[in-house]
Every structure is written in structure tokens, then in C-alpha cells.
Structure 1
Amino acid sequence: MGLFSKDIKTLDDLFVHQLQDIYYAEKQILSALPKMIDKATAPELKQGLQSHLTETEEHVRRLEQVFEMHGAEIKTTKCPAINGIIEEANEVSGEVSDKQVLDAAIIAASQAVEHYEMTRYGTLIAWAKQLGRADCASVLEKTLSEEKAADRKLTALAEGGVNRQAA
């Protein structure tokens, strides 16, 4: 189903479509994170990515909970945006031979993922509230909060030394 497909007629339809989109994205992230962890060399970056992998598993569970709460089928819809972000991250990391520069590239790619997720979760929260689904919004807000925290941690890692070492 395309974003503006005839199958999307209501805000509720759009809400479910975006749930399917971010559900797909979270599953793709679960697949990509172990590769990023393997490539990272800074111990604090490896640890942060490992921690986010555990959080992402919880994000998937929360999305499944929201699907159930909303009475929607738990399924994915392909998300070209996250595929592009992950593909770009793989290309860039494959071209970097200096391990310290690679860590900086991994942080940048991770932040691109986080920013995508924050936009999706923010939108879903607003729509859930508009649809009278404060219960769904509350669950999604937990994940948004964790995504924002992950982004702040990545910034702290970059500014706290990774970028300086890469330079």
C-alpha cells in the first residue's frame, strides 16, 4: 500500500499504516544494530548500541501492544525511508578504514535512525490523541522518550571524544 493509497481513507487508516511503517522500521533496526555493534571500536559506543538493541526489542513489543490495543492486525508495511538510511549507513561504514572515523560514522548513522524514529513516534502520538486513544499515545510516548535519550547519548559520545579522536 502506498502512502496515499486509496486504502487510506481516514486518520485511523493512516494511524494504522504508520504503525505498520514504524514496526517494519524497528524490525530492520533490530537486524542492523548487531552489525553496527560489531563494527564499532569505542567501548562506550559498543555498550550504547548494545543497550539500544535491548531497548529496540522493547519498542517492538510496545508496538505490538499498541496494535492489539487499537484492534489492528500486527503487520509491517515496507518503509523505504529506513531502508535508505540503513543502506547509506552500510555504504559509508564500508568505505571507512580508520576505526576512529568509523565510530564517528556509526554515530552519525545511528542519529539519522533516531531522528527518523522520533518523527514517526511524535506523529503517531499526536494522531493517537486525536483519535481519542490516549492509552496508545501513552505507550508510544515511552518509546519516544527512549529514542530522544538515545539521541542525546549519541551526541554526548560524539562531542565527548569520538569526533575529536576521528579528527
Structure 2
Amino acid sequence: MTPQENYHDWLRDAHAMEKQAESMLKAMSGRIDNYPDLRAKIEQHLTETESQIKRLEDIIDRNGISRSLLKDATSKMAAMGQAVGGMFMSDEIVKGAISSYVFEQFEIACYTSLICAAEKAGDVASVQTLKDILAEEQNMADWARDHLPDVTEQFLLRDAAEGVEAKK
């Protein structure tokens, strides 16, 4: 494959990844009851993710790339399975916070590679957009890492208290 073909394929992957993130963030946000700071940050990042999807679609359209509905559908199914699976864990909020951090690191790696691919494929018009998305993902990952101890502590306190729901 040429650098351009790889770049186009990776753009489709990034679009599918963001669609998966959108599904996961919606599911997580809808289930958080007792952790308002986490819920607010998830909702903020959901808004960013929706914007990222639009910006990726603009890049994809500008490059004349067909979108892969199959990849998007598969990603959404995976996100739904993850959300449903989390519903049955007694420590759902902690596992969700950890998973969110891990997923952000995956996105950071993908965008880091995608920026290099855009440069090699000659799509200089998209590089800054991809760097902007990367910065948003890095900010979310930093927030998730920095707040994981707080979410964990809140969970532990709630879980130890009689008659208090801790999991979400």
C-alpha cells in the first residue's frame, strides 16, 4: 500500500474509533448518578468527540474517501457490549474510569501516527486539525489520570457506607 492508501485507511479507522468513543461516552454518562465531576467531564468530552467526528468527516470528504459503515457499526457494537457488561459489575464506576483512561491513551497513539501519515501523504491541510484533536485527547487522558484516585476514593467511601449506592 502507498502512504496515501494507509493514511486513508487510518482515517476511516479513526472515524470508527470516534464513533465507538461516542457510544461509550453516551452510555457511561447516562449511567453515572453519584459522581457529578466525572459525569460533567464525560459530557464535555462527548461534545468534543462529536466535534471530532465532524472534523474527521470533513477530512475524509475533502480527500474523497468512502466511509466504512461496517467499521462504524462494528465499533458501535463493541462499545454497546462494553457498556452493557459494565452494568453488572459492582465497581462499575471505577472500571469505567480506568477504561476511559486506557481508551484515551489508545486514541492518543492513533492520532500521533495519523499526523505522521497525513504529513507523508501530503495532506498538510489536515495536520493542524489532527493535532487539535490529539490535544483534546491528551487533555482528557490527563484529567482521567489525575481524577482516578478521587473517583476510586469516592467509590470506596460510598461502598463502605450502609444503604449507599457506589457502583454508578
Q: 1:71 and 2:61 equivalent? A: no
Counterparts of 1:116 and 1:83 in 2: how far apart (Å)?
A: 18
Q: 1:108 and 2:108 equivalent? A: no
Q: 1:16 and 2:5 equivalent? A: no
**Contact 1:85–1:109 (8 Å) recurs in 2:** no
How has the CA–CA distance of structure 1 residues 43 and 119 changed in structure 2, closer, same or farther, with 3 Å as cutoff? same
Amino acid at match of 1:73: S
The answer for the alignment partner of 1:158 in structure 2 is 148
**Contact 2:18–2:52 (8 Å) recurs in 1:** yes
The answer for the alignment partner of 2:87 in structure 1 is 94
- Which structure 2 residue ranges, 5 or more long, are not aligned? 157-168
Q: How large is the RMSD of aligned CA atoms in angstroms? A: 2.2
Which sits farther off after the overlay, 52-61 or 72-81? 72-81
Specify which of 112, 117, 127 is matched with residue 107 of structure 2: 117
**Contact 1:20–1:76 (8 Å) recurs in 2:** no
- Which structure 1 residue ranges, 5 or more long, are not aligned? 1-8
The answer for the alignment partner of 1:140 in structure 2 is 130
Using the aligned pairs only, state the percent identity.
25
Q: TM-score when scaled to structure 1? A: 0.80
Offset from partner CA, 1:18-63 (integer Å, 9 cap, x none): 1111111211222222210122230001101100110011000110
How has the CA–CA distance of structure 1 residues 67 and 118 changed in structure 2, closer, same or farther, with 3 Å as cutoff? same
How has the CA–CA distance of structure 1 residues 107 and 146 changed in structure 2, closer, same or farther, with 3 Å as cutoff? same
Counterparts of 2:103 and 2:81 in 1: how far apart (Å)?
A: 11
Counterparts of 1:86 and 1:107 in 2: how far apart (Å)?
A: 16
The answer for the alignment partner of 2:21 in structure 1 is 29
Give the total of aligned pairs: 154
**Contact 2:16–2:71 (8 Å) recurs in 1:** yes
Q: Secondary structure at the match of 2:65?
A: coil
* Offset of residue 89 of structure 1: 5.3
* Offset of residue 94 of structure 1: 2.4
